[in-house]
Structure 1
Amino acid sequence: MPPHYSEQSPLLRDEYHRADQTTIVRFDKEGDEGNPREWSSRRKTSQVVQIFFLALVCPMAASIFAPAIDQIAQDFHSSKQIVLLGQSAFMFGLGTGPLFLAPMSETFGRRPLFVLCLAVFTLLQIPIALSPNVATFISMRALSGLVGSVGVANGGGSVFDMFETHQRAMVLGVYLVAPLFGPTLGPLFGGLIVGSLDWRWIFWFTMVISGIITTITFLLLHETNATIILSNRKKELQKQHPDTHYEVEGVGDMSIPRKIAQNSTRAVRILVTQPIVSIMSLYQALIFASLFSIYAQYQSIWSSPPWNFDKAQVGLAYLGPAVGFLIVSAVCVAFIDKVYTSLCRRNGEDENDGQPEYRLPLANIGAVFLPVSLFWFGWTVEKGCDWPVPILATAFFGASQVSVFNPVQTYYIDAYGSSAASALAAGAFLRSVIGGVVPLFVGTLYESLGYGVGTSIFGVISIVLMPAPLLFQRYGRLLREKFPFHP
């Protein structure tokens, strides 16, 4: 099982001999280049940039075909609702994949999972682009989402591997832009492509981009999981000194199948036994459900009177949430560490020993922006207001996404330490599955109730969940102590 080390004590220590003459393999206390937390800033930056782009491209594929839904339905002689299953299938894969990819990365390492899944994801774009019917399209999309979830599953764990607590929030703030910004950026590219080309070019474009990233990661991405690095070091030492017994602390000679069995339940156990993860993941699921429901209707909304946008203009309409997203991302990156440090000092705590709850204050911004933006967008579309008015509402919606997701994801990583990848996977499962299923029914909802009332339903639910970040900021520590998690 993975080593249980405290962030208050160094991960890097010299090898030493126990009384039974077993040599324990550890990192040196200082200057061990094998330790990811001792890597140079340049090397760490290289790894984060690669993880950022792979976590951007795969979620981007979830919604990239949204502007082409009508065109695909016409080509396959199918209904729009059936074609939407292609989005839901991808989201289901994106949600379920991390449940086993995250533990697999803790068993086999981050790098092998990243490279293998990216390669398969790239190849799967070929049968999607060449799909002869809607059944092939949906099934290949499901598989694509499954392997494409690797960035969501393992990116946060990789950041945890390389950075100490007081360094981590800013890096996570940059990394977390990717899996959240991807679904907004995708339809922008998709709209521009289908404005002049056949819808199948969307997936050729995805294949080229993901192929480039796969090649780069194969050549330049390094292993960051401390357990795997030390286990490989142990094997080398064992070859050099066969008469000496080496052991990595906290890692027994457990068989691979047993390790997989032990690790594979971790994400599910976190989701089921940790109230904070369960409720905040439900909150994130609401945001994803709202996001993909609105995006699924974008073509219908903006191509209708009084706006009558063409396909390229519909694609550009996605710049609304993108602008809000990027502005507040910059705010979160700039201030989340400052807020954390300020709360640590106020409570007389060291920066490396602060409470994970100190990451949550900025989430309260998104808790306010979310219902405001949903009511604003729904009713201005319903009343046919000039296009800048509802577009501005989507900017606030984009802002709400990142100001909830960024602090909450950082909180998961601080709270669950070496099980961070599994904690993130638990959250990804709930939000992706709900975010994939709800849009299937929203079209009928909007037809029956209109955009004002239909979107207001999401707004009312967001008001009910609005106090969650504030309550967990105050009482989260008590809940963690009452419901401790044992990996």
Structure 2
Amino acid sequence: MSFPPTPATPTHHSDLNSKESKTLDHIPTVQEEAREEHEQGALHPVASSDRRASSTTTLNQETVVTHGMEHRGVTKTSKGDKTIVEFEPEEGPKQWKNPYRWYCTFTATSLALVVSLGSSMPTGDLPGTAETLHVSNEVINLTVSLYVAGFGIGPLLCAPMSEVYGRRPVYIVSMFIFFIFTLPCALAPNIATILAGRMIAGLAASAPFCNVGGTVADLWATHERGIPMAAYSSTLFLGPCLGPLFGGWIGQKTGHWRWIYWVLFCFCFAAFILAFFTPETLEIVLLRKKAHRLNKQHKTDMYISKADLDRVPFRETMKIALLRPFILMSESIIVLFSFYLSFIYALLYATFFAFPIAFEEKRGWSAGMTGVAFLSICIGIFLANLVNWWQETLYARHAVKHGPVPEGRLYPMMIGAVTLPIALLILAFTSYPGMTWVGPAAAGVVFGFSMVTIYVAGNSYIVDSYSHVAASAISSKNLMRCLIAASVPLWINQLLHNLKFQFGCLLLAGIAVVIAPMPFYFFFRGDRVRTRAKRALKVEKKDVKVEGEGAV
């Protein structure tokens, strides 16, 4: 999943490439959005990215001589006697050596994998937990719901904190809280202890979800970002799919649900230790440290980072982080795409309860073998990533013909919109007792493929359309996605049992069919929708004449 460019109207192909390369590598953070709002004095989006180019500070790049020493990588500013600190060549995160950048990507992505694993691992023996604590299935399902709800609420706080204090401190603190509050779940004498622990752990676990994508964007330029971002985005779905596999076998082999939490506790502790070995990658923090180092070295206070020079009060940053996601929910694009992506994410959590019915209740499989069935979804996720890499080529061709408009991101989503109801129909008609397991497993493969192709493309479309307020747009989508997914464990069992499994799957397939035309409509008419939208970027789809050898 790659971050898209800020749309611009190109005049010829060389201009398209130059404009795209400048904007693709950077998506505004919440703090930058807050700075923009602070300068304008109102809560409304900019109409054009050109406003961001203007500044009250005049900068002149040159070599600065201080205390008889020559310093590169700094910029003089007319604002007082301060000197802006910048990166020297090969000093910024995007210029680090490839092995080190991959190490940073691996450590951050591993954190996301562990916290996503924690969302579904307890489903390996929910009936045993309910029996021990003498509660109903609906109550014990809250252990999943509260954790996932924390995923949606937590980023409202974690995202701005990481942009002020850096990604590494947020990783460390959040993983410590995640690790500490998983322990009470393993020792819990009652259901209240587990629910409280899971809610707090979910809030803390949200930090990697809202930060790892930023870490990848910090490290890799746009043309390099495809594989690293695909690896990160896959963890959002691989972790929840592997959770029932681990949890099912642990519960089956040990005979007690507490061992599931003990093993999860060990994973949490490993993630906490790994967080200490995750380097800082946020440029504003690295430049702040560089300025502090130069000031200390030369016993002066003249060096400063640009972020600190134009620093916005933390209260303003929090105001944007907390309010703007709700303001953007009035946008039709945000609402429609967020609902579609929320439906996909809800279906993922529905499988944690549908697969046990299809394999355990109807075929007599053990909990461990039912967990193995989730590998079919993992296969689909792998196939979807192949399509998403191909999408980069399709987007480049579309950008040459029509400019870098968001609609060029929707090719995989259109494919997934067709295959999603097919997956649900296969599951419905192959889950009768006595039928082979191949049918539901095939449905899992098709579902995993559909889920990732829809989600990655839809997420990219939101970022393209609201790239000037991308952090807030993503927070708005994540909040809706997680709250809807959190509700699934509370009603999915009743739906599949009371309505019967086949009819329940048919109902979900019907919803998938109803919303399937949406990506097709936006592909052909999305520019008109964005023109009418109040806060989306107003960029029209145009035919671009390509001349010379620069065509993609």
TM-score relative to the length of structure 2: 0.79
Measure the CA separation in 2 of the matches of 1:419 and 1:36.
23
What is the count of residue pairs matched by the alignment?
473
**Partner residue, 1:338:** 393
Measure the CA separation in 2 of the matches of 1:181 and 1:262.
32
Aligned to 2:380, which of 302, 311, 324? 324
Aligned AA (2:436):
D
- Structure 1 pair 337–251 and aligned structure 2 pair: CA distance change class (3 A): farther
**Partner residue, 1:39:** 96
**Partner residue, 1:16:** 75
Measure the CA separation in 1 of the matches of 2:171 and 2:462.
21
Q: Indicate if the aligned counterparts of 1:95 and 1:430 stay in contact, CA closer than 8 A.
A: yes
Deviations 1:366-397 (A, max 9, x none): 11111111122123224653211122112111
- Structure 1 pair 171–340 and aligned structure 2 pair: CA distance change class (3 A): farther
Displacement of 1:304 in angstroms is: 2.1
Deviations 1:461-480 (A, max 9, x none): 11122122233334444544
Measure the CA separation in 2 of the matches of 1:108 and 1:265.
21
**Partner residue, 2:123:** 66
Measure the CA separation in 1 of the matches of 2:493 and 2:235.
28
**Partner residue, 1:361:** 411
1:434 maps to 2:484: yes
- Structure 1 pair 276–231 and aligned structure 2 pair: CA distance change class (3 A): farther
- Structure 1 pair 283–22 and aligned structure 2 pair: CA distance change class (3 A): farther
Moved more, 245-254 or 458-467: 245-254
1:240-255 superposed matches below 5 A = 240=298, 242=300, 244=302, 246=304, 248=306, 252-255=310-313
Displacement of 1:301 in angstroms is: 3.3
Aligned to 1:27, which of 79, 86, 96? 86
State the secondary structure of the residue aligned to 1:231.
Answer: helix
Deviations 1:306-343 (A, max 9, x none): x11122211212122122222222332x3122222222
Q: Indicate if the aligned counterparts of 1:103 and 1:421 stay in contact, CA closer than 8 A.
A: no
1:398 maps to 2:468: no
Displacement of 1:261 in angstroms is: 3.1
Deviations 1:59-115 (A, max 9, x none): 111111213011111111111111001111111111111222122222222111112
State the secondary structure of the residue aligned to 1:483.
Answer: coil
Aligned to 1:463, which of 513, 516, 520? 513
Aligned to 2:132, which of 75, 94, 104? 75
1:181-260 superposed matches below 5 A = 181-197=238-254, 198-219=256-277, 221-239=278-296, 240=298, 242=300, 244=302, 246=304, 248=306, 252-260=310-318
Aligned to 2:112, which of 55, 61, 73? 55
Deviations 1:128-153 (A, max 9, x none): 11111111111211111111111211
Q: Indicate if the aligned counterparts of 1:63 and 1:187 stay in contact, CA closer than 8 A.
A: yes
Displacement of 1:15 in angstroms is: 3.2
Measure the CA separation in 2 of the matches of 1:293 and 1:132.
28
1:63-462 superposed matches below 5 A = 63-197=120-254, 198-219=256-277, 221-239=278-296, 240=298, 242=300, 244=302, 246=304, 248=306, 252-270=310-328, 272-305=329-362, 307-332=363-388, 334-347=389-402, 354-382=404-432, 385-417=435-467, 420-462=470-512
State the secondary structure of the residue aligned to 1:394.
Answer: helix
Displacement of 1:226 in angstroms is: 2.2
Gaps of 5+ in 1: none
Aligned AA (1:346):
K
Aligned AA (2:484):
I
Measure the CA separation in 1 of the matches of 2:468 and 2:86.
16
- Structure 1 pair 209–441 and aligned structure 2 pair: CA distance change class (3 A): same
- Structure 1 pair 244–316 and aligned structure 2 pair: CA distance change class (3 A): closer
- Structure 1 pair 383–243 and aligned structure 2 pair: CA distance change class (3 A): closer
Moved more, 73-82 or 224-233: 224-233
- Structure 1 pair 164–411 and aligned structure 2 pair: CA distance change class (3 A): farther
Aligned AA (2:422):
V
- Structure 1 pair 45–423 and aligned structure 2 pair: CA distance change class (3 A): farther
Q: Indicate if the aligned counterparts of 2:152 and 2:481 stay in contact, CA closer than 8 A.
A: yes
**Partner residue, 2:534:** 483
- Structure 1 pair 274–227 and aligned structure 2 pair: CA distance change class (3 A): farther
Gaps of 5+ in 2: 1-30, 37-48, 54-59, 62-72, 538-552
Q: Indicate if the aligned counterparts of 1:99 and 1:426 stay in contact, CA closer than 8 A.
A: no
Q: Indicate if the aligned counterparts of 2:84 and 2:303 stay in contact, CA closer than 8 A.
A: no
Greater C-alpha radius of gyration: 2
- Structure 1 pair 245–329 and aligned structure 2 pair: CA distance change class (3 A): closer
Aligned AA (1:16):
T
Deviations 1:208-238 (A, max 9, x none): 123223212202x122222222333344444
- Structure 1 pair 359–376 and aligned structure 2 pair: CA distance change class (3 A): same
Q: Indicate if the aligned counterparts of 1:16 and 1:23 stay in contact, CA closer than 8 A.
A: no
State the secondary structure of the residue aligned to 1:196.
Answer: helix
Displacement of 1:273 in angstroms is: 4.4
Q: Indicate if the aligned counterparts of 2:121 and 2:244 stay in contact, CA closer than 8 A.
A: yes
- Structure 1 pair 409–22 and aligned structure 2 pair: CA distance change class (3 A): farther
- Structure 1 pair 164–251 and aligned structure 2 pair: CA distance change class (3 A): farther
Moved more, 234-243 or 429-438: 234-243
State the secondary structure of the residue aligned to 2:512.
Answer: helix
Measure the CA separation in 2 of the matches of 1:436 and 1:125.
19
Measure the CA separation in 2 of the matches of 1:146 and 1:201.
23
State the secondary structure of the residue aligned to 1:65.
Answer: helix
Q: Indicate if the aligned counterparts of 1:277 and 1:427 stay in contact, CA closer than 8 A.
A: yes
Q: Percent of aligned pairs with the same residue?
A: 27
Q: Indicate if the aligned counterparts of 2:251 and 2:260 stay in contact, CA closer than 8 A.
A: yes
Q: Indicate if the aligned counterparts of 1:286 and 1:458 stay in contact, CA closer than 8 A.
A: no
Q: Indicate if the aligned counterparts of 2:148 and 2:485 stay in contact, CA closer than 8 A.
A: yes
Q: Indicate if the aligned counterparts of 1:26 and 1:249 stay in contact, CA closer than 8 A.
A: no
Displacement of 1:201 in angstroms is: 1.2
